[in-house]
Amino acid sequence: MERIEKSASYKMSASDINLKILAYAVVGIFTLICLIPFVVMTSSSFNLESDIIKNGYCLFPRKFSLLAYKVIFSAPDRLIGSYILTICNTLLGTTIGLFLISMTGYVLQRPDYAYRNAISFYIYFTTLFSGGLVPYYLLITRGLHLKDNYLVLLIPGLMNPWLIILMKNFMKSIPHEITESAKIDGAGDFTIFIKLILPLAKPALATVGLFLALGYWNEWFNGMLFLSTTMKYKPLQLYLYEIITKADMLRNTPASKYIPPQNLPTETAKLATAVIATGPIVLAYPFVQRYFIKGITIGAVKG
């Protein structure tokens, strides 16, 4: 693309220049709109609560205060437990899910696999028709007895049809000759998959792994449906949800004993919790987003 722009730029008319200015401006403004909520959240969490109540949220801390963080960390065991739970769930889910999805994706694109179309349809059909929320709820609670069991955060998210289709499309770009020649040398299908295909599929694994990790990190729905409110540790996003919606959660912290209730930093504590729950994603983001862009492009163009 760069090449064209350069060769064409020697005759830019006034309207062309206006278009360029518009492009830079609109894209820049929209980028800022995407970023500002994160900045406001972080700045306001370091701001004095009373100032927020009076003057609203801020782009830069007006009156710096660490009170919100002090209150949160005065009784950190729930937060830390939820953090550990979420990290373990994300690591386990991403590893197991990635293994299962890549194995399925590889098998389903093997041209010599007799049942590949039948099984592809079997998986694809689940996106067309579903029993809905009630049978799913009954399956988890009465069939599998996973209520109040942390496995409910892990198992249902291991595979989904879209990621399998995405993986299958990736795997198609690995030449089938590799499999064929390995078979002639006497290697078994599973060995071929582990030893030859997986190393070649690293970009695909990175992309699908990112989707999986994101899903697990952001998980709150199964937790909300299937974990009792009395359970101490929750997935991080659900913990955040409870902090946001239940204002009285702070009243039970040790810090509340020496802070009068009207001075408890309820609003800034919500923001501080959000900062802590989102931090890892924002920090990891610059390193992983290129895989994300790659994944969307391939998944979308090939369908």
Partner 1 sequence: MSSKSKSNAWKTFKQNKTLVIMSLPAIVFFFIFSYIPMPGIYIAFTDYRYDLGIFKSPFVGFENFRFLIESGDLLRLVRNTVLYNIAFILVGNIFQIFLALLLNEINNRTYRKITQSFMLLPHFISYVLVGLFVYNVMNYDYGLLNILLKKMGLNPIPTYSNPDIWPYVLIAVNLWKNAGYGSIIYFATLTSVDPEIIESAMIDGASHVQKIRYILLPLLRPTFVILLLFSLGGILRGDFGLFYNVVGATNALLYEKTDIIETFVFRSLVNDFNFSMASAVSFFQSVFGFFLVVFTNWLVKKIEPDYALF
Instruction: Pick out residues in 158-187 that bind partner 1 (CB under 8 A).
Output: 158-159, 161, 164
In the list 169, 220, 255, 256, the residue contacting partner 1 (rule: CB under 8 A) is 220
Q: Does 133 bind partner 1 (CB under 8 A)?
A: yes
Measured in whole angstroms, the distance separating CA 22 from the mean position of its chain's CA atoms is: 33
Out of 113, 150, 174, 249, point to the residue binding partner 1 (CB under 8 A).
Answer: 113
Q: How far is the CB of 187 from partner 1 (least distance, A)?
A: 11
The answer to the question of residue 283 lying near partner 1 (CB under 8 A) is no
Closest CA to 49 of 269, 284, 303: 269
Which of these, 210, 199, 212, lies nearest to 171 by C-alpha position?
199
Structure tokens at 43: 């700045």
Only one of the segments 67-75, 80-88, 100-108, 256-264 lies at the binding site for partner 1 (rule: CB under 8 A); that segment is 100-108
CB atoms within 10 A of CB 74: 15
* Structure-block tokens of residue 185: 């040398």
> What's the min distance (Å) between Cβ of 23 and partner 1?
4
Closer CB to partner 1, 10 or 258, in the complex:
10
Residue 47 backbone dihedrals phi, psi, to 5 degrees: -105, 160
Distance CA 60, CA 41 (A): 10
The minimum distance between CB 175 and partner 1, in angstroms, equals 18
Does 119 engage in binding with partner 1 (CB under 8 A)? Answer: yes
Q: Which is nearer to partner 1, 31 or 254 (CB)?
A: 31
Smallest gap from Cβ 177 to partner 1, in A, equals 18
**Neighbour count for residue 167 (Cβ, 10 Å):** 27
What is the distance between the alpha carbons of residues 223 and 11, in angstroms, rounded to a whole number? Answer: 59
Distance CA 118, CA 226 (A): 33
- Please identify, using beta-carbon distances, which residue of 88 and 242 lies nearer to partner 1: 242
Q: Which 60-99 residues touch partner 1, going by CB under 8 A?
A: none
3-class DSSP state for residue 244?
helix
Using CB under 8 A, which of 80, 84, 138, 151 touches partner 1? Answer: 138
Task: Kindly identify the residues of this chain, within the stretch 20-49, that bind partner 1 according to CB under 8 A.
Answer: 20, 22-24, 26-28, 30-31, 33-35, 37-38, 40-41, 44
Q: CB–CB of 49/267 below 8 Å? A: yes
Return d(Cα 123, Cα 105) in angstroms, integer: 11
Q: Which of residues 39, 55, 60, 248 is near partner 1 by CB under 8 A?
A: 55
Query: Coil, strand, or helix at residue 61?
Result: coil
Tokens of 158: 């291991």
# chain residues binding partner 1, by CB under 8 A? 107
100 near partner 1, rule: CB under 8 A: yes
Interface pick for partner 1 out of 95, 126, 173, 263 (rule CB under 8 A): 126
Q: Using the rule CB under 8 A, give the single segment among 102-110, 146-154, 170-178, 257-265 that binds partner 1.
A: 102-110
